[in-house]
């Protein structure tokens, strides 16, 4: 069953995403991820950046969350100059359509006619945004065909909007055609994630990559999205490292993406210095973000992320039969048979190695950065999706705070952002938050360089 699922994913990905490679990011790139709440409150962009932080430690890039919860394409268009171009990106991704395709509107008696007219309005706003993007040839454009609305899962009877999924599918086709027409890159989340949902629901009707409301992916869904994005960039099957040593001859048979030196051997042991060019990807085992219940690690059950993006292979040939302990810098990381070591072990799956422990620190700093950035995104929601409509865009006065407090009584979205706005309306606070993000990012790129380690393989007596 697992093999069948992997083949399904790989086929879908190859057909939709890999047919048009978008290419990897480059040193110095400033990437703005533009979208709605799935981008705003989601992790896929931070997971993508974490991969670059660990796999390309000497190639610094900067990623920006430019999502705002609830946005349809007209709202994205309205804030593009102030909220996207202001970040001075040279690469941007764009995803939209979940909010354009409606929710409770589908319960109207004239739902189909109403939504057909509404989506035509969305297409007109997209055309205006497309014209704006065409005027910026200095920016590389990547469309993201968004994660699906899951109408088939049985985990709840709530949030079921008949025909929304069909209309969203048409929007996805429209976006793909627009990307092709302009010769802009695109990455397909929609079809592979739909295929995963359908495959898993055949075994468990309550399965969903969007298990809270059918709309927002949980942490596992966001790793699936990062996986698809990185795969479309052609970064799959690039090893963290791939080492093969012959214990008898003391020869290095293979050293991919790393440097091996000072090989020593005795009748029952072998040792060498190991300096990799990359760090393993530190998979998170804690549910992150408000309302999420699943872990990033849960995605490993449904996509071959470890096999394709997290291979740090250690193989030792020529060992006598028996068991051997493996130590790194004097600390034991495990015991394996000579046969298993000949085959090779994946050190990227061993969380106690010093290189994995180093990567965990990067992950945690990145999570801190993500959390602070979210506060600024919540502030931007208040600006563009509420205060602008009240004629108070970028006002941040006491009158603006009074308006927020007044409407928070009845508007759950304003109320949910009220406390954050009470702090963020002060520029000095926002500036401090930005400085905190800069410090965290600088610290990440200061500590993410792989270190030289001594690996020893010794017979267990």
Residues 324 and 432 in one domain: no
Q: What is the pLDDT of residue 7?
A: 47
Name beta bridge partners: 186.
Answer: 143
Residues 404 and 455 in one domain: no
Query: 5: Cβ–Cβ under 8 A, 6 or more apart, which residues?
Result: 196, 199, 200, 302
Among 232, 260, 286, give the residue marking a domain's end: 232
Percent residues over pLDDT 70 in the chain: 96
Residues 270 and 413 in one domain: no
Name the DSSP letter for residue 56. S
Residues 365 and 401 in one domain: yes
Q: Residue length, the chain?
A: 461
Question: Whole-prediction pTM value?
Answer: 0.95
Among 232, 253, 287, give the residue marking a domain's end: 232
Answer yes or no: are the C-beta atoms of 228 and 192 closer than 8 Å: yes
Print the domain residue range for 275. Answer: 241-350+451-459
Residues 290 and 368 in one domain: no
DSSP calls for 331-367: EEEEEEEHHHHHH-EEGGG-TTSHHHHHHHHHHHHHH
- The distance from CA 303 to its chain's CA centroid, rounded to whole angstroms, is 14
Average pLDDT, the chain: 94
Distance between CA atoms of residues 298 and 393, nearest Å: 41
Q: What is the pLDDT of residue 254?
A: 97
Answer yes or no: are the C-beta atoms of 377 and 417 closer than 8 Å: no
**Backbone conformation region of residue 183, classed left if phi is above 0, alpha if psi is from -120 to 50, else beta:** left
Mean pLDDT of 348-375: 98
Distance between CA atoms of residues 214 and 452, nearest Å: 46
Distance between CA atoms of residues 58 and 63, nearest Å: 16
- The distance from CA 291 to its chain's CA centroid, rounded to whole angstroms, is 18
Residues 59 and 160 in one domain: yes
Q: What is the pLDDT of residues 277-316, one digit of tens each?
A: 999 999 999 999 888 999 999 999 999 999 999 999 999 9
Name the DSSP letter for residue 83. I
Distance between CA atoms of residues 10 and 4, nearest Å: 10
Q: What is the pLDDT of residues 397-424, one digit of tens each?
A: 999 999 999 999 999 999 999 999 999 9
Distance between CA atoms of residues 31 and 93, nearest Å: 8
Confidence of residue 158 (pLDDT cuts 50, 70, 90): confident
Distance between CA atoms of residues 224 and 205, nearest Å: 20
Domain count of the fold of the chain: 3
**What CATH number is attached to the domain comprising 69?**
3.40.50.1110
């Amino acid at each position: 069953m697992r093999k069948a699922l992997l083949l399904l994913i790989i086929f879908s990905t190859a057909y939709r995403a890999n047919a048009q490679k978008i290419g990897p990011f480059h040193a110095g790139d400033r990437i703005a991820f533009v979208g709605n709440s799935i981008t705003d409150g989601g992790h896929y962009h931070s997971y993508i950046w974490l991969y670059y932080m660990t796999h390309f430690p000497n190639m610094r890039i900067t990623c920006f969350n430019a999502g705002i919860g609830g946005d349809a394409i007209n709202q994205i268009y309205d804030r593009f100059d102030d909220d996207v171009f202001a970040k001075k990106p040279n690469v941007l991704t764009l995803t939209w359509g979940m909010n354009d395709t409606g929710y409770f509107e589908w319960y109207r008696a004239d739902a189909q006619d109403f939504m057909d007219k509404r989506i035509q309005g969305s297409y007109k706003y997209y055309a205006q945004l497309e014209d704006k993007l065409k005027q910026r040839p200095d920016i590389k454009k990547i469309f993201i065909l968004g994660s699906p609305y899951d109408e088939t899962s049985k985990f709840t009877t709530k949030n079921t909007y008949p025909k929304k999924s069909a209309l969203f599918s048409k929007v996805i086709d429209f976006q793909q055609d627009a990307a092709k027409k302009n010769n802009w890159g695109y990455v397909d989340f929609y079809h592979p994630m739909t295929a995963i949902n359908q495959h898993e629901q055949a075994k468990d009707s309550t399965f969903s990559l969007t298990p809270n409301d059918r709309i927002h992916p949980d942490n596992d869904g966001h790793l699936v999205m990062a996986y698809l994005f990185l795969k479309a960039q052609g970064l799959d099957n690039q090893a963290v490292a791939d080492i093969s040593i012959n214990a008898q001859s003391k020869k290095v048979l293979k050293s991919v993406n790393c440097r091996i030196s000072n090989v020593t051997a005795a009748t029952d042991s072998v040792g060498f210095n190991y300096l990799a060019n990359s760090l393993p990807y530190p998979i998170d085992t804690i549910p992150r973000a408000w309302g999420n219940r699943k872990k990033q690690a849960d995605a490993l059950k449904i996509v071959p992320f470890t096999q394709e993006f997290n291979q740090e292979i250690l193989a030792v040939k020529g060992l006598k039969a028996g068991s051997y302990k493996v130590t790194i810098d004097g600390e034991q990381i495990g015991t394996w048979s000579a046969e298993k070591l000949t085959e090779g072990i994946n050190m990227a799956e061993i969380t106690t190695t010093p290189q994995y422990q180093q990567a965990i620190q990067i992950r945690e700093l990145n999570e801190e950065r993500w959390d602070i950035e979210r506060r600024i995104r919540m502030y931007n929601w208040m600006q563009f999706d509420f205060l602008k409509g009240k004629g108070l865009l970028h006002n941040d006065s006491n009158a603006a705070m009074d308006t927020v407090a007044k409407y928070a009584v009845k508007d759950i979205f304003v109320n949910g952002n009220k406390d954050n706005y009470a702090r963020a309306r002060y520029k000095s606070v926002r500036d401090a938050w930005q400085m905190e993000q800069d410090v965290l990012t600088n610290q990440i790129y200061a500590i993410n360089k792989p270190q030289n380690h001594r690996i020893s393989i010794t017979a267990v007596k």
